[in-house]
Chains A and B, each alone.
Chain A
Amino acid sequence: MATLKDLAARKPVLATIRLIVPAGAARPAPPVGPALGFYRLNLMAFCKDFNARTQKYKAETPMQVTLTAYKDSTFEFVVKSPSVSWFLKKAAGIDTASSRPGHNNVSSLTLRHVYEIAKLKQADPFCKHMSLEALCKSIIGTANSMGIEIVKDL
């Protein structure tokens, strides 16, 4: 993937679009449709490309996608892993985070869970520069703000 500097120098950027799309299930319907259709991008090509690239993930996991739309109606996109809060919710088996974090704890996870999530996140292009320890700390921070307690052993 070219660096951002190259991209900017190459073609004039029209807009940056951020989406959450379930893996392998991109359809022309919302969320993809209106967001891309507005910029006259080739929806079908994006859907096919995105679905092909996310085949290796479990179906329906919400992947974060960042599209860069250029002025000449072409686009490029980067697929990132799902958000940390989604991972935590899945690991803890809950649907919504605590409404009063810090006061009520919804669930608890062990350090092993945090480590596994950190390993998955490190594959993300944006996290490569962070050490595993730094990633773990940030995941713990997210968990605290969601009301999920991290304990050493369950």
Chain B
Amino acid sequence: MLLPLVRASRAPLRRLLSSSSSLRTLLRPRVPYATSGSGGNDLPPLLLQLCARPSPYRASEAGHARRAASSARRGMILCARAVDVGDEASSSSAAAAGSDLSSPYLSVRIRCRKQDAEVLSEALLSFGAFSSTVDDIADAGNLDEIYITSIYADGEDVDWSVSNAASSAGLDYSPAYETSVGKQCDWVATVQETFEPTEVADGLWVVPNWKTPPDPQATNIIINPGLAFGMGEHPTTKLCLLLLREVIKGGEHVMDYGTGTGVLGIAALKMGAALSTGIDIDPQAITAASENLLLNGLHSNQMPVYLVPMNLEPSCFPSNISKLEGEGNKLSNNFDLKSSRGTYDIVAANILLNPLLELVEDIVGYAKPGGIVAVSGILEEQVPKVQELYSRYLDNMSVSAMDGWACLQGTRRV
């Protein structure tokens, strides 16, 4: 039985798993070298250290004793922890059954001296850790030691990684650590709690679906973001929403290129557009957008969403059909999509610089001659490049900016 692993407080309840991998350290020969860790940018002296240093603390008995003592100390200093040792069998079977949202990862909490924290956390990164976090030094108060929390993929050899990182960082002891298994849904939920209703413009709000709209009279777009992008608080989303508000007069056909949560398409419909279409390469986005449509009381006929393959080549239509032969549903969707090229009044693409540059023909191709094309997701410094390329296809270009992000709009050349 798995207990929920993450709480909102800073020191969460964790299940401690006894790591029997510590016994294996006795059997593994000590490799006598020190690498430079992750580039060694800030500590050149470390790089020339070629040491064959037998650590006096490698014996597992000493390690166990220290770990027991340290966990007792931790119990006193931080809030209570649930200690549930010896549940490895159940956790490994749970690990095997992990789907995307509940697939586990390893979270390792390492204790080391304050002055070694920086170096050790950099070294951990080059030995297989996905990330390493150092809790704030000032917080530790008068304690001589500090905690590093490191995240690994499930199944990695944590012990090997920690001991090598320690030796390459020049530590003369092997830091004590404890491993726990985390599940994806834990942190997803935590992040979602941070979303607040945002007022993008006068009378236009984007509200997460678990909150009530602060202003029921205004145009409220209700979003459940899931793992997709587009909560309304990012400057690029705001820029696009403001633009849509300016240009939508009623009855337009809008294309949301790279729809994410579907926020732009849904906003367009609420502002008076007749039809929105959303496309994205990320299946998560399609799920989120379809859900958000229903949350806003819209029908999927008003905003069909399509999953497009990443290497969409508009010029080679026949090859697209043969690729998608096996997926009948998508085939018909793509066919509808293709036949709608060149018919949209407004095309909005809030993605990233490189896709914008590569897919310029695709994006502009969806707009009808004289239709408006708006692109965003670019930093202000990236605007000249985009402007240069898009000026070959668009007239009347103008740039709006907010907080260092920019949005470029223009009308398709007839």
Question: Which residues of A line the B interface, CB within 8 A?
Answer: 12-20, 24, 27-45, 47-48, 51-53, 55, 59, 64, 73, 80-85, 97, 99-102, 121, 124, 126-127, 130, 134, 138, 141-142, 145-146
**B227 touching A28, Cβ below 8 Å:** yes
Question: Number of B residues contacting the other chain (C-beta, 8 Å)?
Answer: 59
Closest to B282 in A: A27
Interface-central residue, A16, A41, A101, by most chain B CB under 10 Å = A16
B102-126 vs A: 1/0 string, CB under 8 Å?
A: 0001010000000000000110011
Q: Is the CB of A38 within 8 A of B187?
A: yes
Q: Is the CB–CB distance between A40 and B44 below 8 Å?
A: no
Min CB–CB distance B3 → chain A (angstroms): 17
| Cα A45 to Cα B404 with chains together (Å) | 13
A44 touches B225 (CB 8 A): yes
Cross-chain contact A51 with B352 (CB below 8 angstroms) = yes
Whether B130 contacts A20 by the Cβ 8 Å rule is yes
Pick the contact of B42 from A15, A126, A145 — CB < 8 Å?
A: A126
CB distance from A64 to the nearest CB of B (A): 6
Contacts of B136 in A (CB 8 A): 12-16
Q: List, sorted by A's number, 20 A–B pairs whose CB atoms are closer than 8 Å.
A: A14-B136, A15-B134, A18-B121, A33-B188, A36-B187, A36-B191, A37-B191, A42-B191, A52-B377, A52-B382, A55-B353, A55-B354, A81-B39, A84-B40, A121-B41, A126-B41, A138-B47, A141-B47, A142-B36, A146-B35
Bound Cα distance A39, B131 (Å) = 13
A126 to B134, CA, bound (A): 19
CB proximity of B207 to chain A, nearest CB, Å: 16
Q: Is the CB of A52 within 8 A of B39?
A: no
**B184 part of interface (Cβ distance < 8 Å):** yes
- Are B33 and A38 closer than 8 Å at their CB atoms? no
Residue of A nearest to B147 (CB): A15
* A101-B286 Cα distance, complex, nearest whole Å: 49
CA distance A16 to B131 in the complex (A): 11
B190 / chain A contacts, CB cutoff of 8 Å: 37-38, 40
B134: A residues at CB distance < 8 A: 15-18
For B183, the closest partner residue in chain A by CB is A34
For the complex, is B135 an interface residue (Cβ under 8 Å from A)?
Answer: yes
Beta-carbon contact of A40 and B194 below 8 Å: yes
Q: How close is A50's CB to chain B, nearest CB, in angstroms?
A: 10
B125 and A20 within 8 A (CB): yes
Q: Beta-carbon contacts of B174-214 to A below 8 Å, as 1s and 0s?
A: 00000000101011101101100000000000000000000
| B232 CB to nearest A CB, Å | 11
Q: Assess the A73–B153 pair: CB atoms within 8 A.
A: no
- In the complex, A37→B42 CA distance in Å? 28
Residues of B near A59 (CB, < 8 A) are: 354
CA distance A51 to B353 in the complex (A): 9
Q: Does B270 contact A (CB under 8 A)?
A: no
* Min distance, Cβ B179 to any Cβ of chain A, angstroms: 14
Which B residues touch A39, using CB under 8 A?
Answer: 133
